[in-house]
C-alpha cells in the first residue's frame, strides 16, 4: 500500500524557509533534515508568493479559495443533475395518465 504525503508543521516549514533565506542551500538542509531539497525549494518559492516577492503562481490563500470554489462547483453540479432527473421523472408521470388540468375558455 502506498504511503500518503507527509505533512510538516507550519512552524517547522517556516524555520527551514528562514534557514534557506539565510544562506543555507536546500541540499544541505535536505541532508540535515527530513524533507528533500526540492520540497524545501518549493516551500521557499511558496513563501515568496505568499509574501508578494513572486508573482508566478497562486498564493496559499488563493489556492485554498480555488479548492473551495471547485468543491462548491462539484456540489452544485450534483444538485443540478438530481433536479434534472426529478423534473424528467415528474414529467414522465404527467404523461402516464395523471389527470391534466382543464382550462376554462
pTM of this prediction exceeds 0.75: no
Most distant CA atoms of the chain, gap in Å: 89
pLDDT, one tens digit per residue, over 55-81 is 999 999 999 999 999 999 999 999 999
pLDDT, one tens digit per residue, over 20-55 is 999 999 999 999 998 999 999 999 999 999 999 999
Amino acid at each position: 500500500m502506498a504511503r500518503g504525503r507527509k505533512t510538516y508543521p507550519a512552524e517547522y516549514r517556516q524555520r527551514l524557509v528562514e534557514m534557506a533565506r539565510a544562506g543555507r542551500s536546500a541540499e544541505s538542509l535536505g541532508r540535515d533534515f527530513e524533507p528533500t531539497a526540492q520540497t524545501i525549494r518549493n516551500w521557499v518559492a511558496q513563501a515568496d508568493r505568499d509574501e508578494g516577492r513572486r508573482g508566478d503562481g497562486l498564493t496559499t490563500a488563493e489556492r485554498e479559495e480555488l479548492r473551495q470554489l471547485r468543491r462548491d462547483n462539484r456540489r452544485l453540479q450534483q444538485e443540478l443533475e438530481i433536479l434534472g432527473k426529478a423534473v424528467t421523472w415528474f414529467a414522465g408521470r404527467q404523461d402516464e395518465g395523471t389527470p391534466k388540468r382543464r382550462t376554462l375558455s
